[in-house]
Structure 1
Amino acid sequence: MGLLLALLFTGVLHAAPDADSPAAMRWAPSRSYHVENYKLRLHFDQARREVFGDEIVTIRPFAAGFDRFCINSEDMTIESVALVRTDGAVEALPHDTDNSCLWISLQRAYGPSDSLGIRIVYHGVPSAGLYFVNPGKDDPGVPPQIYTQGEPEFNHHWFPCWDYPNDMATSETITTVPEGQVVVSNGTLESVKHAGGQVTYDWVEHVPHSAYLLSLAIGPWKQLHDSYDGKPVDYFVDRRVDDATALRTFHLTPDMIGFFSRATGIGYPYEKYDQVTVHDFIFGGQENVSATTLVDEALHDARAEADYPSTILVAHELGQHWFGDYVQGRDWANIWLNEGFATYLTALYTQYHESNDAYRYEIYGDQKAALHADATENNRPIVYRKYVDPMDMLEQITHEKGASVLDMMRYVLDGESAMTIPASQNEIMFHALNDYLAAHHAQTADTADLISSIRSSSGQDLSWFFYEWVFKGGHPAYRVSASYDPARRMEIVKVAQTREVNANTPIFDMPIHLAFFGDNNRQVDRQVRDDAANQEFDIPLVFKPKWVDFDPDDVLFKTVAFPKPDEELGVQALHDPHMMSRLWAVKQLGEHAAADKDCCVQAIDSVLNNDTFYGVRIEAASSLGQSHAEQAKRALLSALGQDNSQVRTAVVGAMGHFLGDPGVRQALLKAMRDDPSYAVQAAAAEQIGRSGSPRAFDALRAVLASTRDINVTIGALNGLAAMKTPQATHVVFTYAKPGPPKRVRLVALTHLQTLKDSLPPDDRQAVTQLVGDAIEDSFLEIHEIGVQLVGTFGLRQFRPEVERDARRAVIMDDRVDAQHVLEGLDKK
């Protein structure tokens, strides 16, 4: 899931206990039956956002005496429930609702040999799970669309189901829509029938899957055809989207399918693969079985390709068709088996498609995101059972730390050399993953199953590794020193783990790569095992090293303090053969450059102009941004001419210390107007707003009037918000009203939280109207920020709407936020 239901209970059956009690541990709900199949007949009232369903859910009891059961259902009026007999006759069944359960009573007891067809006829206006896009006065050109989003527990808001990932069933959707609409769903398209101005699509998914992966995407789509190994690979976009734009986003899909198939040893397991882009999708993407849904912002023009490619999003959602769809994490505590693996597979595709340096740089980005989360109160283990809401588990520890841990696992199992080549079945790790997928296909699994597959396929027991990295939290913080003893011809490397050891964070036990570099390209590599708070390693060495690398490829998820002289860091930054080691040295030089040391600035400047990998040059630009030195300013201005747009974007972002310089302001204005990169233009717009330039307002307003790119628009709004003048705030306020694209409007609304004092005092009525429009918006994130603005501006007339969210919002964080707003209103 790319990159939202959160409820108060584990599954939709269990009420939330006190988080401090032992009962706060979240386990998968026990089942009294297995769902074999969902068969849905559906039609809709688009204008009223209403679904009408006629469902047959086929279940099989686990034990004798089965005479009453619950199926998850919310936001629905149940018209009838009946048992469908084998002869086609139906038997009405008593039923009642309790919270999110539809309780159904059978006329007699059944057992494991019985397969029961339960027919449920219903209608309702879902508060989650099923979303309607309607043209209106704010967005008259948008085509009518309907789409689903089931993860984590949304789908029971639009059809009765076992809405927890620990059961998997086949499915069929028979959906009737007006002529001109196209229905995309899971599996094989069995038939399309036209009658009376209506069209009915019958889709059948033969591979069992969790209920949250059952999907619909309905709209006036244009279909583009592709294939992989004889299977259809199709792309569905709005008919106004040209073919080149669609293919720019999706053209690598068959190549990705081939790579993932070869890496896992499991061929693509579904009947076909469709990808649909929908309007105002609440996430980046959702990996519905054989039919992924993506936000339409994944479509972009050729100019945006360098800075905003959709490769990572497309690869992530596809990767989950092996890890998450084919083999499903049994519960939300183990959801890293879906999301962490998909994030890791995405990085592996980068290694295959681009380079090993690009792979290591992507893992570095994952590490940074996870370290940010780990530095907060959220330094939880990856497998974690004290969450309050399933949504709590869909964040950086699950995704990015999960990927970082898998990268380390590959190092532990296969060593340094294997990590420099694309994933292969010849590797121990990928042979083990094949064993895991083959053993649990179309089933649920947990982390213990993964450990068992590694043990059975490789003979290696990694229980120690999973203990510290998956079942414990935190990360090691290393303090390293290195010195040479010429008398003994020995390099002494001292390693200390300085992070506090507690019940959550252990002393970490890991193999660590050390590299020693001397004159004439001499290099000695050693691996040591660090497993104590303080250790000393004596490495025989016939030369005094010019520099020493500690984990030169940055495999370990860690922080490290390894003080070195400026001269040594400069040599390492320029000459180390390991890209991540050069990047680390540049980062250290940047911290030293904050004191405006000329030697450090000069070394970073040389890296910025000469390093072969863009990621190191990005770090060099950021490091120069920590200096106030004239040389740093000149180096950044010169680097605005570099070919790589990501480097130029970093250069613009690093100019914060020099915004008072007229030459810098002029360069930023030129970059905002003329740079071929949207990302550079957007970054320049933000900096111009912060610069205090007398030309800033007119320049930013001109950009807003001329650009057609959403990223540049957002950059200009960020720049205007940074000015904090009434004139600039008025423009931000204008973009917060209905009309602009929802993502743009969301940015503007968010800025108003900090621009309250810049608004004219007589704008109270306009503010009230704007906040009311936001609260009533169907786009979830705009509604949420509308509730926040009620508190910002103290608008007590919206108290009933906020109270409704505090009681009934589907997502727990929204309920908590609404409660905080109410508390603030009471204080005021």
Structure 2
Amino acid sequence: MKKLLIFLVLSCFSFSMKAQSQTDFLSAKATLQFDFEKQSVFGSVSYKIKVLKPMDTLKIDAKSMQFSDVLLNKKVAVFQSSKKALLLPGTFKPGTYHLQFNYSATPRQALYLTNINNQQQIFSQGQGKYTSHWFPSPDDQRDKLTFDVSFICESGKTVISNGALKSKTNVAGKTQWNYGFKKPISAYLFAIAVGDFAKIDVPAINKTKREMYVKSSETHLVESTYQHHSEIFTFLERKIGLPYPWEIYRQVPLEDFLYAGMENNTCTFFAQDYVTDAVGAHDKPYANVHAHELAHHWFGNLVTAENPEDHWLHEAFATYYALLAERELFGDTYFSFALLESARDIAAFHKKKPEAVVSTGASSLTYYQKGAWCLFYLNRLLGDEAFDKIVNVYLKTYAYKTATTANFLDLVKKNSKIDVLNFEKNWLRNPNFDTAEALNTLKKFSPDVREYLETSAIVNGKDISTEALRNVYKASNISEIRREVLLQADKLNEADRYELIKLGIADIDWENRQLALALTDSIAKGDCDLFAKTLADSSYVTREIALKKLYLYCPEQRMAYLDALKDQNGLHDYNVRIFWLTLALKSKSGSSEMQLKYYDELLRYAGEDQPTERRQNAFTALFFLDASDKATLRLLPTGLSNHRWQFVKFCRDKIRELLQQEKYRLFFESELANYSPRVGAELKRLLEEKKTN
């Protein structure tokens, strides 16, 4: 089964909590503008703040910002600006204060101004990065406030933020977008996206207005990308038993977004990679991301964790309810095998690093997957009716407030007869994972999983014959069992292995066909046409693998196979096109003029104006073709200043590998002065590593 539980982050988000809050931020009003050339944001802000206890300094989190015209209750205020906050010293008695100021910032994180394929976008990412890097605001997520913000941007761009779009006005040749939000939210959920977007209005559900966005050039991908939107929305409202608690819901894809998705209140941001056609939707399905982020609008946005150790109240619930939504879409078998895969991942991880779900600083796997498993186990203990009732009461009780694990468990105790202390001890606070109990629970729930585990024990046995494996494969209508049989191919002799792989190539399940192709290490001449059918498979990853195998093992028809995929890009990372160009250049097909054209195209995909996953694919291909190509080497360090850490790591690791050879060190030293100050500093740091190691 394809990975279903998608990690939206690679490590858990950090929390900022005040030991004892002395202030309550009530509302924020602002007018903001952006300077793309300077990569900066500036504007005017006013806050209504309630002081709860006598204090000598009023503080608002603000990372490396410049302030002017600071007024407190309409009077000029003395202030200090540190790298972390705006500070107003004085004598503050309990009461309400009005703070106004102008500010500017050039944030290195949390706000990103990108230009990919000549399309400028601006977007924020508050959770895990802190909104206070680009907008002065409280980092403490327990501090909930309303936002009323206007954005002045270049006319022709679409601006998307939280809440209702109240109006648009013309201001000095630009457009001012005026957004208002009546209900209080944590500042990490305040968001902005600017770009060339097309808006698709969809029918309201229970009076909730819904908007879906894509790039203006990609309206033809709306149906395949958002195909399950209404079903997911309707299911979650019905399952939770509480209508969507906000006035509008938007979904916005963004180039080089940091994570798979982010549940900014009323406007989910998600990675552009998930905007695909019907074929790519198999490889990059948006349903899980969509359901997870939508579920957060109840779990996290409506009811927010009080303490860092309660983070599972966000992520476990969103993960579990996303699974439940997929169960509604794809059935019990899909749901059950997702849980089985998750249990195996958790067990493997916890052998090395045991972690409790209710804890501070745990991994995302623990908060998301292990937390979701705790909820599945609790759901089985309680039964659906009692479980749904408790969750519903929990959300109603703590709506627009914060809650703790103890608050949730108290409701379980009051509304059921289960041993809550035992559940808390063995599941929520146990750093280990009871794999045996988990599998027993899952086997009782799912006959398919029970059959799979029993059959898997047989097919993995030492004494099973080739004929028995083949019979199991042909007899089973459970894709996962057939997949398990395919994984035994390496145990067989060459002829039997090949026959088993041929069964996989003809499987009705696209993931089994993909696995069979990946296992292929030869193709008989008479079977080339059978394998060639996978060049038109319902997966771009499968098509890429098929081209590789056919190119290797059916050399007589190489040009025909290349011709079959010559006009396909594949996924957003251009997996098919880049691999096609690699083969075309490696085989030196076409004239020298065409070869140069192919090279220029491949080099272009490694350029700074391309999405990072496409750049990474292109760099990998270029270094495979010629590790000494100067144009490729010259481009590589430009990735060191990218905002996506995954791509920065790729570039950094590749440069470190190259620096093991003196010729490359000399090349990068000679190019050092040609880079921007930021890239030059990063490259110099790597060169210094070489000297010291």
* 2:252 match: secondary structure: strand
The reply to whether residue 43 of structure 1 matches residue 1 of structure 2 is no
Aligned pair partner of 2:76 in 74, 78, 92: 92
Listed as ranges, the matches of 1:362-381 within 5 Å are: 362-376=338-352, 378-381=353-356
Provide closer, same or farther for how the CA distance between residues 258 and 767 of structure 1 changes in structure 2, counting only shifts above 3 A: closer
Can you list the C-alpha shifts for 1:709-760, whole angstroms capped at 9, x where unaligned? 12784368689999xx9999x97877544465431212344688xx68x845
Match of 1:526 in 2: none
Alignment-mate amino acid for residue 451 of structure 2: R
Alignment-mate amino acid for residue 351 of structure 1: R
RMSD, aligned α-carbons:
3.8
Alignment-mate amino acid for residue 116 of structure 1: Y
* Residues 528 and 554 in structure 2, CA contact (< 8 A), matched pair in contact too: no
Listed as ranges, the matches of 1:190-205 within 5 Å are: 190-205=166-181
Match of 2:96 in 1: 115
Aligned pair partner of 1:463 in 415, 418, 421: 421
Match of 1:503 in 2: none
Provide closer, same or farther for how the CA distance between residues 778 and 270 of structure 1 changes in structure 2, counting only shifts above 3 A: same
* Residues 523 and 554 in structure 2, CA contact (< 8 A), matched pair in contact too: no
The structure whose RCO (Cα within 8 Å, separation 6+) is larger is: 2
Which has the larger share of helix?
2
* Residues 672 and 680 in structure 2, CA contact (< 8 A), matched pair in contact too: no
Deviation at 1:669, TM superposition (A): 5.8
The reply to whether residue 124 of structure 1 matches residue 105 of structure 2 is yes
Aligned pair partner of 1:580 in 423, 427, 449: 449
Listed as ranges, the matches of 1:76-475 within 5 Å are: 76-83=65-72, 85=73, 90-106=74-90, 108-111=91-94, 114-134=95-115, 139-140=117-118, 142=119, 144-226=120-202, 227-242=204-219, 244-376=220-352, 378-385=353-360, 387=361, 393=363, 395-414=364-383, 427-475=385-433
Can you list the C-alpha shifts for 1:760-783, whole angstroms capped at 9, x where unaligned? 5x54x4454122222244555433
Match of 1:790 in 2: 655
Alignment-mate amino acid for residue 101 of structure 1: A
Match of 1:714 in 2: 575
* Residues 514 and 542 in structure 2, CA contact (< 8 A), matched pair in contact too: yes
* Residues 333 and 383 in structure 1, CA contact (< 8 A), matched pair in contact too: yes
Distance 1:726 1:28 in 2: 62
Deviation at 1:149, TM superposition (A): 1.1
Deviation at 1:398, TM superposition (A): 1.6
Distance 2:655 2:157 in 1: 38
Match of 2:509 in 1: 644
Match of 2:482 in 1: 617
Aligned pair partner of 1:608 in 473, 483, 487: 473
Can you list the C-alpha shifts for 1:607-629, whole angstroms capped at 9, x where unaligned? 43343333333333334455446
* 2:210 match: secondary structure: strand
* 1:647 match: secondary structure: helix
Can you list the C-alpha shifts for 1:463-512, whole angstroms capped at 9, x where unaligned? 2222222222222355xxxxxxxxxxxxxxxxxxxxxxxxxxxxxxx5x8
Provide closer, same or farther for how the CA distance between residues 297 and 175 of structure 1 changes in structure 2, counting only shifts above 3 A: same
Alignment-mate amino acid for residue 56 of structure 2: D
Distance 1:156 1:382 in 2: 28
* Residues 3 and 284 in structure 1, CA contact (< 8 A), matched pair in contact too: yes
Structure 1 range deviating more: 290-299 or 452-461:
452-461
Provide closer, same or farther for how the CA distance between residues 438 and 665 of structure 1 changes in structure 2, counting only shifts above 3 A: same
* Residues 123 and 193 in structure 2, CA contact (< 8 A), matched pair in contact too: yes
Deviation at 1:219, TM superposition (A): 1.9
Q: TM-score, normalised by structure 2?
A: 0.86
Alignment-mate amino acid for residue 185 of structure 1: S
Deviation at 1:683, TM superposition (A): 3.5
* Residues 155 and 163 in structure 1, CA contact (< 8 A), matched pair in contact too: yes
Structure 1 alignment gaps of length 5 or more: 12-26, 419-426, 479-509, 514-549, 556-576, 810-817
* 1:146 match: secondary structure: strand
Deviation at 1:804, TM superposition (A): 7.4
* 1:177 match: secondary structure: strand
Deviation at 1:312, TM superposition (A): 1.1
* Residues 583 and 616 in structure 1, CA contact (< 8 A), matched pair in contact too: yes
Structure 2 alignment gaps of length 5 or more: 1-5, 590-597, 660-664
* Residues 186 and 290 in structure 1, CA contact (< 8 A), matched pair in contact too: yes
Distance 2:678 2:309 in 1: 30
* Residues 132 and 146 in structure 1, CA contact (< 8 A), matched pair in contact too: yes
Can you list the C-alpha shifts for 1:68-95, whole angstroms capped at 9, x where unaligned? 1322111322223221x3xxxx212222
Distance 1:241 1:429 in 2: 41
Deviation at 1:396, TM superposition (A): 1.6
Distance 1:407 1:173 in 2: 40
Can you list the C-alpha shifts for 1:212-262, whole angstroms capped at 9, x where unaligned? 1001112232111111112211112211122x5213322432332222122
Deviation at 1:288, TM superposition (A): 0.7
* Residues 263 and 293 in structure 2, CA contact (< 8 A), matched pair in contact too: yes
* Residues 51 and 92 in structure 2, CA contact (< 8 A), matched pair in contact too: no
* 2:218 match: secondary structure: coil
Deviation at 1:460, TM superposition (A): 3.4
Provide closer, same or farther for how the CA distance between residues 613 and 50 of structure 1 changes in structure 2, counting only shifts above 3 A: same
Listed as ranges, the matches of 1:59-78 within 5 Å are: 59-63=49-53, 65-78=54-67
Alignment: residue pair count: 668
Distance 1:116 1:654 in 2: 68
Distance 1:236 1:353 in 2: 22
Structure 1 range deviating more: 698-707 or 178-187:
698-707
Provide closer, same or farther for how the CA distance between residues 369 and 237 of structure 1 changes in structure 2, counting only shifts above 3 A: same
Can you list the C-alpha shifts for 1:421-478, whole angstroms capped at 9, x where unaligned? xxxxxx1111111121111111122222221121122243422222222222222355
Deviation at 1:9, TM superposition (A): 8.1
* Residues 315 and 349 in structure 1, CA contact (< 8 A), matched pair in contact too: yes
Distance 2:444 2:51 in 1: 51
Deviation at 1:692, TM superposition (A): 7.8
Alignment-mate amino acid for residue 91 of structure 1: K
Deviation at 1:309, TM superposition (A): 2.5
Distance 1:583 1:819 in 2: 54
Provide closer, same or farther for how the CA distance between residues 9 and 371 of structure 1 changes in structure 2, counting only shifts above 3 A: closer
Alignment-mate amino acid for residue 443 of structure 2: D
Structure 1 range deviating more: 659-668 or 151-160:
659-668
Match of 1:3 in 2: 8
Structure 1 range deviating more: 229-238 or 461-470:
461-470
Provide closer, same or farther for how the CA distance between residues 598 and 367 of structure 1 changes in structure 2, counting only shifts above 3 A: closer
Distance 1:735 1:285 in 2: 24
* Residues 665 and 693 in structure 1, CA contact (< 8 A), matched pair in contact too: no
Distance 1:701 1:669 in 2: 14
* Residues 327 and 335 in structure 2, CA contact (< 8 A), matched pair in contact too: yes
* 1:441 match: secondary structure: coil
Over the matched positions of the two proteins, sequence identity in percent amounts to: 20
Deviation at 1:648, TM superposition (A): 1.5
* Residues 4 and 151 in structure 1, CA contact (< 8 A), matched pair in contact too: no
Alignment-mate amino acid for residue 653 of structure 1: A
Distance 2:198 2:582 in 1: 39
Can you list the C-alpha shifts for 1:344-364, whole angstroms capped at 9, x where unaligned? 111111222231112112222
Aligned pair partner of 1:52 in 13, 18, 42: 42
